[in-house]
Structures are given as C-alpha cells and as structure tokens.
Amino acid sequence: MKKRIAILGSTGSIGTQALAVIQQQCERFEVTVLTAHSNADLLIRQALQYRPKAVVIGDEKEYRQVKEALSAYSIDVTTGATAVEQIVELDVIDTVLTAIVGSAGLAPTVRAIRAKKNIALANKETLVVAGALITQLVKEHNVALYPIDSEHSAIFQCLVGENPTTVEKILLTGSGGPFRGKTQSELATVTPQQALKHPTWEMGRKITIDSASLMNKGLEVIEARWLFEVDFNRIEVVIHPQSIIHSMVQFTDGSIKAQMGLPDMKLPIQYALTYPERLHTSFPRLTFDQYNQLTFEKPDTQTFRNLALAYHAGEKGGNCPCILNAANEIAVSAFLDNRIGFLQMSDLIEKCINTIAFNRNPSMEDLLATDLETRQFAIHYLKHFNTTSL
Ligand code: NDP
Ligand code: MG
C-alpha cells in the first residue's frame, strides 16, 4: 500500500521540494491532497501532474480559475480558509505534511491530529504558538509528529536508538545568516533585498528574513523544546556558517552526536516521510576535501535581539511565544514592504510582548485570540515608527 500524503502549502519552497521527493519515490507515496493560498497557476499544474483526489485554493478570487482548469478530472476543488481545515480529515490521507507559512498552519494541523493523521511538520510556527497543546493532542490521539526542519530532523536522527533520559544538551546549529558579524549601526540600514540573500539555504521569503534576524533560530529553539521535551537551559545555539552540521546532541557521558550533509531540504523531508527507513537517494554527497574547514561561534544576541526575545518568550511560556510569533509575522511583512527598518522588527516584537496581556495557561481559543489581538496591536503600532531614513 502506498502512503497517502496531503501537502498543505504545496506551492511553496518546502511544498515543491516535497513533491520532488514524492516523484522520486512514487512507488511508495501517493499525493491525495494539495493546497495553496493564491498561486492558482502552479496549483493547477501540480494537480494535473499528480492527480490528487482534492485541492484547496485558499484565496476565493482564484477559485473559478482552478475549478475550470480541473473540471475534466475527478479532482474535488474547494476554497477558503475553513476548506483547508476540513480537507485534512479526508479518509484518503495517512500523513499531512504541513508546509504552510506562519500561524495559519495551526488550525489545519490541530484538525489533522484530531482526525488521527500522522504529521510531517515543516510549519514550525504551529509548535511555537501552541507547543504545549499540540504535543498533548499528539499523545491523546496517538499520532506521530515527524520534524522536517533540518535542525530538528538532525536531532531526531541523533536520538534514534538513544534513551531520552541520557540527553544532556541540544546543540542547535545555524548559519548566522547574511548579516553575521555586522554591527547594530550597519544593520540599521540593510534592505529587504540584502536580507533575502541567504548564504546557504534557498527558502520562502518569511523564513529567509527570520534567518537574517536570527528569529528563525529563536523559533527553532522553542520548536526543539516541544519536540524533544528539553528545557530551554539545555538548548544551546551554535553558529556554524557552513551549514554542514545540521545540529548535535550531547549525552550524559559527554559524547556528542552530529548529523551532517549538504544543505538540501529534500533529505529531511524524505526522512520525515519514510522514518524509520532510510531510502537510497541520488542527492549530491558531502566530501570533506570540499568542506575542509567547519567553524563554530557563539551567537551575538546583543546585536541580533530576536534570539534573546525568543528565549525570553519561550521561558516565560503561556501565550508569550504566541505574542512573539504574531508580532514577528507583522514585523517581517512590514520590513519586506519597507515600512520599518531591520532593527525595528525587534522593537515592535518587544513592544507587543510588553503590551499584550499575559496568560499562563491559554486554551487553543485563547491562543487564537492572542494571535489576532497581537496582530491588530502591531499593525496599529507600526504608525509610531519613524521610517523617513529608510
Ligand atoms: P513559502 O512562502 O515558500 O510557501 C508557503 C506556502 O504556504 C505556499 O504554498 C503558500 O501558498 C501557502 N500559504 C501562504 N499563506 C497561507 C495562508 N494564510 N493559508 C494557507 N496557505 C498559505 O514558505 P516555505 O516553504 O519557505 O516555508 C513553509 C514553512 O516551512 C514555514 O513554516 C517555514 O518556517 C518552514 N520551513 C521552511 C524551510 C525552507 O527551506 N523553506 C526550512 C525549514 C522550515 P501560495 O504559494 O499560493 O502563496
Ligand atoms: Mg531550520
């Protein structure tokens, strides 16, 4: 029996790479559901190639085009945000691969877990916003949650065959992004175009900005805390500009295991879909004569304040990581639109954390309310920034 996969966010960077993996392993996998937000043209091409049972186009303006293009095929076409949530419950799905960007991925992931689907998780914001509730739901419904994020896949691979109680520390690596080594005054004037040039990974726009500001590493620290049930004081970020070691685990006997490879998301995507098996791939291999120098540094959290803010939010817990995430989504979008400068992203996030009411034990409904309230406040507060120098 082929494993039947739903890809939420199939038109994005992770979504398209997931389809490439599935195409190479087509005797094992079948795509049964695809969803996109507004990229109707690509969704139609993907549907014609992979012939899923159903597709969802989030943006209602694009519905007619997708419906007409697929009318000759037995592919169900629906639209709207709630359609993305409903589609994950279909019987024809075994695993839901969540590659939507931002907290929009949360509601469909919750529905998928409740419908007893296994989750291959790229959408890290889901665990940042609602890590406690998601991990509890995963246990209650007895489903598997496999990480796609390269660092978390690396940690997951290092932990295979190990006793979780022997983990001393997680060493989460990160490239440091395009602005590693820059000072605050240099960062004040960097442009979105400069921030979008990542030195080692090609990704969607939001995560590329998060990587430049080190917020991505901060979100990943919170993601790791929930995936591996390790306290924040045992998760250490290590800057490793070559992106060859994807992360490490230190054990109680002092031994450190690392997972290495060339930076290519197709490997962690495939591992999340095939675990516990490893399948042969023809991906280029790492050779040590090409990478004969691997270097490591401490992160500069004075300059890149987002990483410090994320640790703070994670340690505080409750709805604080949800506030951090929602504020960051608004900050990134405002930076990309040239409405605020690079450093002002941290100012906006800090302002939101200090303003929105803290809730120590939020329900899912409370978190959705915090997400909305933070976005509204952040959009309103953007007016206070002086952007004449941008
Ligand atoms: P992209 O921006 O490339 O793709 C996002 C996908 O989500 C697209 O299919 C987009 O549709 C869809 N989408 C956007 N907004 C919404 C919405 N409101 N509702 C429903 N669907 C929506 O992002 P990435 O692929 O880079 O990232 C996806 C997730 O994976 C993120 O959470 C990111 O942090 C994580 N991740 C990504 C990595 C990477 O290498 N790219 C690495 C590790 C994690 P459309 O195209 O129609 O707009
Ligand atoms: Mg990552």
Report the separation in Å between the CA atom of 271 and the middle of ligand 1, taken as the mean of its atom positions. 19
Tokens standing for residue 356:
């929105």
**Is 306 within 8 Å of 328 (Cβ atoms)?**
yes
pLDDT at 98: 98
The pLDDT of residue 334 is 98
225 lines ligand 1 (CB under 6 A): no
Ligand 2 center from residue 247 Cα (angstroms):
10
Q: Give residue 387's pLDDT.
A: 66
223 Cβ closer than 6 Å to some ligand 1 atom: no
Which of 101, 151, 215, 375 is the best mutation target for the ligand 1 pocket, counting ligand atoms within 8 Å of the beta carbon and taking the most? 101
- Prediction pTM value: 0.98
Pick from 143, 145, 327: nearest CA to 226: 145
217 C-beta closer than 6 A to ligand 1: no
Choice from 7, 8, 13, 208 to test ligand 1 binding pocket (greatest atom count within 8 A of CB): 13
Task: Tell whether ligand 1 has an atom less than 6 A from the beta carbon of residue 66.
Answer: no
| C-alpha span between 278 and 239 (Å, rounded) | 28
pLDDT profile of the chain (390 residues), mean per 10: 98 98 97 98 98 98 98 98 97 98 98 98 98 98 98 98 98 98 97 94 95 98 98 98 98 98 97 97 95 97 98 98 98 97 98 98 98 98 76
How many angstroms separate the alpha carbon of residue 199 from the centre of ligand 1?
20
Angle between helices 320-336 and 364-381 (to 10 degrees): 40
pLDDT of residue 298: 98
The response to whether residue 38 sits with its C-beta less than 6 Å from ligand 1 reads: yes
Alpha-carbon distance values, 25 to 273, 284, 289 (Å): 10, 17, 31
Pocket lining: 7 vs ligand 1, CB cutoff 6 Å = no
Q: Which pLDDT score, from 0 to 100, does residue 199 have?
A: 86
